[in-house]
């Protein structure tokens, strides 16, 4: 009996060890400027990776490439077993909505939609909107009382939490944060990071977070340091 | 969700939505008005030009008939092939007589004619024929004659005889005389002002020419003369002749009328006939050209205002793309917006255009026009065309938005 | 060339039918290909036999009956799927298995392509042509069918795989194409008779069942009600009633598709996964809508075509008539031909090597007229009857029915006749002489013209 379950178990173990992101000589040039020098990077599934560096060090470029928002100039890029270079524009869009959740530094909500509608928009692009589920997601991030407010009526921390709810609504495998706490005070930053940690424990997504805040980077499992498009240092937290 | 997005986006940006709506409504209104009028205008203009006189003159052919046409043939004019194109006709019988009134004597022309004669033709609808219909520009001071011994007198002749409406005049010819009660004095601006117009029967008995008329004026709706129409029917092949006969050229209608009036020769009065055709053709193409121009202008203005709002909305588009919207989903949002605006604009434009057409028609032609049913779909379709033409460029721009660049920082 | 032009709607219809069949029975493409061609040829050959054996209206009646029953079946199926979409099961015993079999695919394809072939042949002069020519027609039809079927097969492979069609949608599309094909000929048209029947039915209903309240000054009938009763006698009632009957089945199929239940996703725990399943179902449903919606357009085209039969006019074959000893031709008002039905009836009179074609028509004013099938100026190509007018085939001039019987222009040349209570009497000599005089002056160029 137990032997019948054995292959399943082994496969799960194998998958756990699998890398969700694998880059090989990943390069991005903007004209003559080389934003990302050839980079080899592996991120195992379930890891929380912090990317640190000065502004212009190529950390946002890396995040955009991994999130399917931008295309590399050279090299190979596999995310979740998909070769992103082989996807066309609509394919990348599909990849983004099904696989990735993105949180930006500026909150980037649609100004004329309420909090719940902003979450539903992500559902709509993914498949079909489901208001109950969107409401539940906002309750999970502690905004159950702010459902019908438009972004202008929310504080910075609240807006960022709406973005988190939107990012996780389609159960992504990969959550990308581009300095998600860059505009927040210390108290809100801690709140947001705690929230992300909680959600990750429940949903088991991989996190790649770009930041220049050492404290924020400390929430992750591993930190890589980029400088001028080159990986200069790597630090394992736990 | 799509409708929720659209609704909120409309409510949030009422000004730019209104601008686009206005351009589309204007375009649709102009198209409705111009096309509505263009449809009516040929008819209206033809009638208008018709008021400058008859365009076919029937005279006795020199060789036969002894210089007269037969009155009994007249109803046949309403039974010919082109009868529906013949809007009116009136016979004349002319004679030179001695007029006397209040001791004054003048030699002058007496014309027997129909003023407004009820004409019953078996198998046809009854109609009213006569000068009143064929020469509506005659200004009669007084009233039109109603009885056999009533007449209207040309203004110049009346002046010489010093006659006012209500007076009496007698016509003398070879010892016979006929008294007329002058019902009105007519101003025409032409040679008719030297004549006295009396009912045909009375003049026939005065001239001893019972049942005869000397000429008939026919007013017909015709198609513009082209090179083919100007060809001499005598030199045509059988095929050409048939085509010519079956086209409402003024010549073929004239020929048609000539066939039923024994011993007659029909002459088109060229000036009016050709001017009319050419003018109508030009007018219609001008209308069409103006319509296209107006639609183009409103498409351009839709494009500009959408383009402007697109620049303002590019963060929103970038965000949607980042969240995972593909090109189809982005397009459906923006096309959905323009479609809703354009349908609303089309309906409002139709209503406005209809009013505009009425106003133009009232001020130019002094009459109302019937608005045909096809104008409504035309208005909606032209609104859609304007909207689609105007949103191609903005949509392309929206699809080219790169989230990475717009969302940075 | 004219034949090719005439065949365009039929070719399009056959193409559409084959396309839908291939998609509908996508597992059995070879069966569909084979049976479409075979069915088309069989239908064409059958129609030829019918047309040659029974002249006149019987073959048309047969095709019309086939079309009519197809339309009734469509109605039944539409009501069925509508019923099923409400969640009440109507499983037939063994039905599902039969629907999946290649027999079913073959039978459906054969029947529909047979009707298509028969309609095609009804447009060709198969009844009067030589056997060889008819054989060429049938053979050509077969070759054409092969071409059309293979073209459809190629196109079908290029259609997005997501576009699927249900059995009811397939039936709707096939019927739409057949009706479009048939409505281009006046004698196979179903829509006009349908609206006529509707009008008559409604009028009869009002007369039969509302007689009591139709008595003027009835106590219970308010003037407002009279206004609405008046609508039932309006001109449009037949047309709009016909429209409703015409479009309802396919619209029901569309509606049933939209009412179809979405899959149950309660067992899926993850919200995103659940939504994806629902979305997939909705999208599949949307794609299944493509063909029924397209059928609505084709149905509309058929109705439009039937209200404006652009190519064909009422033009019966001239019936030969003879004169009695006195040289008079007597045509009875009633009998095989009803002279007073408002349609033109053509006759052919031959006497001593001379002949004359003429027709008898009751004008809308209720007056019988006898005129030559030729006018004073055109070549004697004859006339056909259209809505409210007759048309001179030669110069394509429409002549209002009211003016038939009056001389001049392109009007047919009138013939003097005597009207009796039971028929009309025409002098044979006058007829032949008038024809001679008219045609002599116009037919000179008959061969050399154009």
pTM: 0.66
Separation CA B401–CA B405 (nearest Å): 8
Distance of CA B368 to the CA centre of its chain: 12
- Determine contact: C276 vs chain A, CB below 8 A: yes
**Domain boundaries in chain B?**
2-47+279-407, 54-268
Residue C335 has pLDDT above 80, yes or no: no
Work out the pLDDT band at C3, boundaries 50, 70, 90.
Answer: confident
Q: Which chains touch A (3 or more CB pairs under 8 A)?
A: B, C
Q: What is residue C450's predicted lDDT score, i.e. its pLDDT?
A: 30
Residue C153 and residue C33 in contact, taking contact as beta carbons nearer than 8 Å: yes
* Ramachandran class of A43: left when φ > 0, alpha when ψ lies in -120 to 50, beta otherwise: beta
- Determine contact: A60 vs chain B, CB below 8 A: yes
pLDDT in tens, C420-430: 888 888 888 88
Residue B57 and residue B258 in contact, taking contact as beta carbons nearer than 8 Å: no
pLDDT in tens, A114-170: 999 999 999 999 999 999 999 999 998 889 999 999 999 999 889 999 999 999 999
Q: What is residue A43's predicted lDDT score, i.e. its pLDDT?
A: 92
Q: What is residue C38's predicted lDDT score, i.e. its pLDDT?
A: 93
Residue B168 and residue B101 in contact, taking contact as beta carbons nearer than 8 Å: yes
Chain A CB contacts of B9 under 8 Å are: 112
Q: What is residue C289's predicted lDDT score, i.e. its pLDDT?
A: 92
Chain C CB contacts of B256 under 8 Å are: 408-409
The shortest C-alpha distance from B243 to chain C (Å) reads 7
Higher pLDDT, B83 or C83: C83
Pairing of strands B264-268, B168-173: unpaired
Strand, helix or coil for residue A180: coil
Separation CA B21–CA B345 (nearest Å): 5
Separation CA A227–CA B197 (nearest Å): 110
Q: Which of C263, C270, C272 to mutate to test the interface with A (most CBs of A within 10 A)?
A: C272
Q: What is residue A238's predicted lDDT score, i.e. its pLDDT?
A: 65
Residue C90 has pLDDT above 60, yes or no: no
Chain B CB contacts of C378 under 8 Å are: 242
Chain B CB contacts of A122 under 8 Å are: 323-324
pLDDT in tens, C236-250: 677 788 889 999 999
Residue A199 lies in a domain: yes
Return all residues near B237 (Cβ < 8 A) that are at least 6 apart: C445, C449
Residue C214 has pLDDT above 60, yes or no: no
Residue C176 and residue C302 in contact, taking contact as beta carbons nearer than 8 Å: yes
Residue A5 lies in a domain: no
Q: What is residue C219's predicted lDDT score, i.e. its pLDDT?
A: 58
Q: What is residue A188's predicted lDDT score, i.e. its pLDDT?
A: 87
**Domain boundaries in chain C?**
2-186+245-259+289-300, 319-445
Residue A225 and residue A53 in contact, taking contact as beta carbons nearer than 8 Å: yes
The shortest C-alpha distance from B325 to chain C (Å) reads 15
Residue A13 lies in a domain: no
Separation CA B1–CA C143 (nearest Å): 52
pLDDT in tens, C16-50: 999 999 999 988 889 999 999 999 999 999 998 88
Least CB-CB distance to A133: which of C271, C276, C282? C271
**Mean pLDDT, rounded, of chain C:** 81
Q: Tokens 């697109």 map to which residue?
A: B310
Contact between chains at B245 and C409 (C-beta distance less than 8 A): yes
Q: What is residue C235's predicted lDDT score, i.e. its pLDDT?
A: 56
Which of A6-15, B112-121, C112-121 tops mean pLDDT? C112-121
What's the total number of domains in chain A? 1
DSSP string for residues in C154-192: HHHHHS-TT----HHHHHHHHHHHHHHHHHTSGGG--HH
What is C319-445's CATH number? 2.102.10
What is the average pLDDT across A27-45? 89
Q: Any idea what the CATH number is for the domain that residue A171 is in? A: 3.40.50.300
Q: What is residue C290's predicted lDDT score, i.e. its pLDDT?
A: 93
Residue C146: name the closest of C260, C40, C54 by CA. Answer: C40
Residue C105 and residue C31 in contact, taking contact as beta carbons nearer than 8 Å: yes
Q: What is residue A12's predicted lDDT score, i.e. its pLDDT?
A: 47
Residue C380: name the closest of C312, C428, C426, C446 by CA. Answer: C446
Chain B CB contacts of C394 under 8 Å are: 242
Least CB-CB distance to A170: which of C272, C278, C282? C272
Alpha-helical (H) ranges within B113-197 are 131-134, 155-161
Chain A CB contacts of B5 under 8 Å are: 110, 113, 117, 121, 124
Separation CA C389–CA C185 (nearest Å): 18
Residues of chain B with pLDDT under 50: 51, 65
Least CB-CB distance to C278: which of A127, A169, A170? A127
Complex prediction ipTM: 0.87
Residue B20: name the closest of B324, B382, B368, B340 by CA. Answer: B340
DSSP label at residue B75: G
Chain C CB contacts of A169 under 8 Å are: 271-272
Least CB-CB distance to C409: which of B80, B238, B243? B80
Q: What is the number of CB-based contacts under 8 A between chain A and chain C?
A: 25
Q: Which of B1, B323, B326, B336 to mutate to test the interface with A (most CBs of A within 10 A)?
A: B323
**Mean pLDDT, rounded, of chain A:** 87
For residue A200, give its domain range: 46-65+96-236
Q: What is residue A164's predicted lDDT score, i.e. its pLDDT?
A: 92
Residue C109 has pLDDT above 90, yes or no: yes
Tokens read off for B304: 């500009």
Separation CA C193–CA A31 (nearest Å): 73
Separation CA C144–CA C142 (nearest Å): 5
């Amino acid at each position: 009996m137990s032997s019948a379950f054995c292959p399943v178990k082994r496969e799960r173990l194998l998958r756990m060890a699998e890398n969700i992101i694998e880059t090989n000589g990943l390069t991005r040039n903007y004209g003559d400027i080389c934003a990302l020098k050839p980079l080899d990077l592996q991120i195992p599934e379930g890891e929380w990776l912090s990317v640190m560096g000065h502004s212009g060090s190529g950390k946002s470029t890396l995040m955009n490439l991994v999130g399917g928002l931008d295309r590399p100039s050279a090299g190979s890029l596999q995310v979740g077993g998909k070769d992103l270079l082989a996807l066309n524009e609509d394919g990348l869009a599909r990849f983004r909505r099904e696989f990735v959740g993105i949180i930006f530094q500026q909150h980037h909500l649609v100004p004329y939609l309420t909090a719940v509608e902003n979450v539903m928009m992500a559902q709509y692009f993914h498949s079909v909107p489901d208001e109950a589920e969107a409401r539940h997601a906002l309750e999970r991030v502690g905004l159950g009382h702010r459902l019908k407010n438009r972004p202008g009526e929310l504080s910075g921390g609240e807006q960022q939490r709406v973005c988190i709810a939107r990012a996780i609504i389609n159960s992504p495998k990969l959550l990308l944060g581009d300095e998600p706490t860059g505009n927040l005070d210390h108290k809100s930053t801690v709140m947001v990071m705690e929230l992300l940690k909680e959600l990750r424990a429940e949903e088991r997504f991989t996190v790649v977070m770009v930041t220049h805040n050492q404290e924020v980077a400390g929430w992750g499992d591993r930190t890589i340091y980029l400088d001028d498009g080159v990986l200069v240092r790597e630090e394992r937290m736990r | 969700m799509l409708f929720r997005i659209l609704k909120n986006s409309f409510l949030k940006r009422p000004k730019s939505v209104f601008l686009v709506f206005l351009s589309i409504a204007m375009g649709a209104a102009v198209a409705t008005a111009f096309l509505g009028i263009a449809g009516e205008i040929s008819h209206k203009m033809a009638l208008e030009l018709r008021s400058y006189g008859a365009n076919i003159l029937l005279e006795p052919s020199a060789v036969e008939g002894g210089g007269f046409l037969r009155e009994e043939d007249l109803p046949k004019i309403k039974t010919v092939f082109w009868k529906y194109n013949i809007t009116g006709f009136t016979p004349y019988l002319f004679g030179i007589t001695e007029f006397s009134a209040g001791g004054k004597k003048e030699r002058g022309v007496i014309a027997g004619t129909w003023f407004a004669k009820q004409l019953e033709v078996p198998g046809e609808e009854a109609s009213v024929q006569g000068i009143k219909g064929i020469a509506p520009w005659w200004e009669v001071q007084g009233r039109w004659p109603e009885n056999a011994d009533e007449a209207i007198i040309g203004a110049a002749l009346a002046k010489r005889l010093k006659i006012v409406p209500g007076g009496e005049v007698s016509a003398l010819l070879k010892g016979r005389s006929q008294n007329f009660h002058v019902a009105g004095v007519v101003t025409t601006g032409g040679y008719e002002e030297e004549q006295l117009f009396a009912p045909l029967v009375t003049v026939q008995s005065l001239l001893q020419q019972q049942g005869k008329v000397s000429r008939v004026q026919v007013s017909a709706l015709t198609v513009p003369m082209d090179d083919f129409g100007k060809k001499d029917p005598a030199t045509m092949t059988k095929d050409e002749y048939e085509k010519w006969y079956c086209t409402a050229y003024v010549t073929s209608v004239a020929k048609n009328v000539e066939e039923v009036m024994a011993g007659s020769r029909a002459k088109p009065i060229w000036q009016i006939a050709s001017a009319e055709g050419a003018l109508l053709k030009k007018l219609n193409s001008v209308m069409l050209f103006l319509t296209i121009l107006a639609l183009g202008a409103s498409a351009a203005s839709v494009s500009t205002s959408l383009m402007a709002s697109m620049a303002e909305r590019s963060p929103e588009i970038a965000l949607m793309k980042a969240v995972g919207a593909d090109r189809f989903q982005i397009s459906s949002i923006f096309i959905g917006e323009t479609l809703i605006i354009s349908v609303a604009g089309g309906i409002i434009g139709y209503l406005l255009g209809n009013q505009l057409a009425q106003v133009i028609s009232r001020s130019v032609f002094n009459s109302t026009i019937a608005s045909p049913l096809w104008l409504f779909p035309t208005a909606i379709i032209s609104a859609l065309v304007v909207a689609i033409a105007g949103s191609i460029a903005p949509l392309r721009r929206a699809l080219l938005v790169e989230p990475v660049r717009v969302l940075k920082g | 060339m004219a034949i090719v032009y005439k065949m365009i709607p039929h070719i399009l219809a056959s193409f559409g039918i084959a396309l839908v069949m291939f998609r509908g029975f996508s597992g059995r493409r070879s069966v569909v290909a084979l049976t479409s061609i075979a069915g088309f040829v069989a239908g064409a050959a059958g129609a030829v036999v019918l047309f040659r054996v029974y002249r006149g209206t019987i073959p048309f009646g047969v095709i019309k009956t086939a079309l009519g029953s197809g339309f009734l079946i469509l109605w039944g199926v539409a009501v069925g799927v509508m019923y099923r979409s409400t969640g009440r099961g109507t499983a037939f015993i063994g039905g599902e298995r039969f629907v999946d079999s290649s027999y079913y695919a073959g039978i459906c394809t054969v029947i529909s392509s047979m009707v298509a072939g028969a309609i095609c042949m009804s447009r060709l002069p198969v009844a009067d042509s030589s056997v060889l020519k008819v054989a060429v027609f049938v053979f050509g039809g077969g070759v054409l069918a092969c071409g059309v079927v293979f073209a459809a097969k190629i196109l079908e492979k290029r259609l997005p795989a997501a576009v699927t069609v249900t059995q009811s949608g397939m039936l709707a599309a096939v019927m739409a194409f057949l009706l479009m094909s048939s409505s281009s000929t006046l004698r196979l048209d179903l829509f006009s008779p349908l609206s006529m029947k509707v009008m008559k039915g409604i009028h009869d209903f009002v007369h039969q069942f509302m007689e009591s309240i139709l008595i003027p000054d009835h106590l219970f009938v308010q003037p407002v009600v009279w206004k609405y009763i008046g609508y039932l006698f309006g001109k449009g009632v037949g047309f709009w009633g016909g429209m409703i009957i015409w479009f309802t089945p396919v619209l029901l199929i569309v509606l049933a598709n939209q009412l179809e239940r979405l899959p149950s996703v309660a067992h899926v725990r993850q919200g995103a996964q659940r939504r994806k399943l629902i979305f997939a179902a909705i999208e599949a449903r949307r794609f299944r809508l493509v063909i029924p919606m397209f059928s609505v357009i084709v149905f509309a085209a058929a109705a439009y075509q039937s209200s404006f039969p652009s190519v064909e006019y009422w033009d019966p074959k001239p019936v030969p008539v003879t004169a009695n000893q006195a040289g008079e031709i007597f045509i009875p008002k009633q009998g095989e031909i009803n002279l007073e039905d408002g349609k033109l009836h053509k006759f052919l009179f031959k006497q001593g090597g001379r002949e004359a074609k003429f027709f008898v028509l009751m004008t809308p004013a209720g007056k019988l007229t006898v005129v030559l099938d030729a006018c004073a100026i055109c070549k004697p190509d004859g006339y056909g009857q259209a809505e409210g007018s007759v048309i001179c085939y030669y110069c394509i001039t429409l002549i209002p029915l009211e003016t038939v019987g009056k001389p001049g222009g392109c009007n047919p040349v009138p013939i003097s006749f005597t009207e009796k209570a039971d028929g009309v009497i025409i002098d044979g000599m006058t007829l032949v002489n008038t024809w001679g005089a008219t045609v002599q002056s116009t037919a000179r160029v008959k061969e050399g013209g154009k």
